[in-house]
Structure 1
Amino acid sequence: MPPDRSCFTPLNLPPTFSLPQCMDYFTLGAAPNTDLWRKPPDRDTSTAPILFTSLRHPFVIAEVTVTADWEMEWDQGGLVIFAGSAPTPGPASNTGRNNSRRAPTQQSNNSNDNDNPTNRDSGTSSNSQQQQQQQPDEPAPPYSRSTSSCKWVKAGLEFSSGTVNASSVSATDDGADWCLAPLALPNQPTNITSLRIKLERIGHSLWVWYQLPTLSSHARTPGAIGSTWRKLREVTWFFWAVEDKSVHVGVYASRPSNLSMSSTVFAMRNGSRLNSATGSRAAAADDSGSQVHGEGLVVEFEDLEIY
Structure 2
Amino acid sequence: MADQTFQTAYFDEATPSPSTTSFTISADSPTDIWSKPGPPEVVTFNAPLIYKPIPLSKFQRARVTVTADWGTLYDQGGLVFILPSSVEGQAGKWIKTGVEFYSDEVYVSTVVKDSWADWSLVQAGIKDGKVVTLEMERDAKEGTLWIYVIDGEKRIPLREVTWVLSEKEQEVWVGVYAATPTTERGDRGKLVVEFKDWELEVKN
TM-score (norm 1): 0.58
Equivalence for 1:233? 159
Looking at structure 1, the residues matched to 104 and 124 of structure 2 have their Cα atoms a distance apart, in angstroms, of 11
1:304 maps to 2:198: yes
Equivalence for 1:160? 102
Q: Which residue of 8, 11, 26 corresponds with 1:10?
A: 8
The Cα of 1:60 is off from its aligned counterpart by 0.6
Q: Which residue of 177, 180, 185 corresponds with 1:252?
A: 177
Change (3 A) 1:204 1:83: farther
Looking at structure 1, the residues matched to 22 and 90 of structure 2 have their Cα atoms a distance apart, in angstroms, of 32
The Cα of 1:40 is off from its aligned counterpart by 2.2
Tell whether the 8 Å contact from 1:164 to 1:183 is kept in structure 2 after alignment. Answer: no
Q: Which residue of 177, 189, 194 corresponds with 1:295?
A: 189
Equivalence for 1:114? none
Tell whether the 8 Å contact from 2:23 to 2:194 is kept in structure 1 after alignment. Answer: yes
Change (3 A) 1:19 1:28: same
Looking at structure 1, the residues matched to 123 and 29 of structure 2 have their Cα atoms a distance apart, in angstroms, of 23
The one-letter code sitting in structure 2 at the alignment partner of 1:52 is Y
Tell whether the 8 Å contact from 2:27 to 2:192 is kept in structure 1 after alignment. Answer: yes
Looking at structure 1, the residues matched to 134 and 15 of structure 2 have their Cα atoms a distance apart, in angstroms, of 22
Equivalence for 2:132? 195
1:208 maps to 2:147: yes
Q: Compare the two structures and name the one with the higher helix fraction.
A: 1
SS at match of 1:231: strand
Tell whether the 8 Å contact from 1:68 to 1:298 is kept in structure 2 after alignment. Answer: yes
The one-letter code sitting in structure 1 at the alignment partner of 2:97 is A
The one-letter code sitting in structure 2 at the alignment partner of 1:75 is D
Stretches of structure 1 lacking an aligned partner (at least 5 in a row): 88-145, 185-189, 217-224, 263-293
SS at match of 2:165: coil
Q: Which residue of 21, 43, 61 corresponds with 1:24?
A: 21
Change (3 A) 1:148 1:31: closer
Task: Compute the RMSD of aligned alpha carbons.
Answer: 2.4
Equivalence for 1:116? none
Identity of matched residues, %: 36
The Cα of 1:240 is off from its aligned counterpart by 1.5
The Cα of 1:161 is off from its aligned counterpart by 1.4
Equivalence for 1:269? none
Q: Deviations over 1:160-208 (max 9, x none)?
A: 11211111000012x1100100249xxxxx8221101101111332111
Count of matched residue pairs: 194
Looking at structure 1, the residues matched to 25 and 33 of structure 2 have their Cα atoms a distance apart, in angstroms, of 15
Equivalence for 2:45? 46
TM-score (norm 2): 0.85
Equivalence for 2:54? 55
1:106-121 counterparts in 2 under 5 A?
none
Equivalence for 1:178? 119
Equivalence for 2:31? 34
Tell whether the 8 Å contact from 1:23 to 1:303 is kept in structure 2 after alignment. Answer: no
Looking at structure 1, the residues matched to 72 and 91 of structure 2 have their Cα atoms a distance apart, in angstroms, of 32
Looking at structure 2, the residues matched to 149 and 82 of structure 1 have their Cα atoms a distance apart, in angstroms, of 7
1:276-291 counterparts in 2 under 5 A?
none
Stretches of structure 2 lacking an aligned partner (at least 5 in a row): none
Q: Compare the two structures and name the one with the higher strand fraction.
A: 2
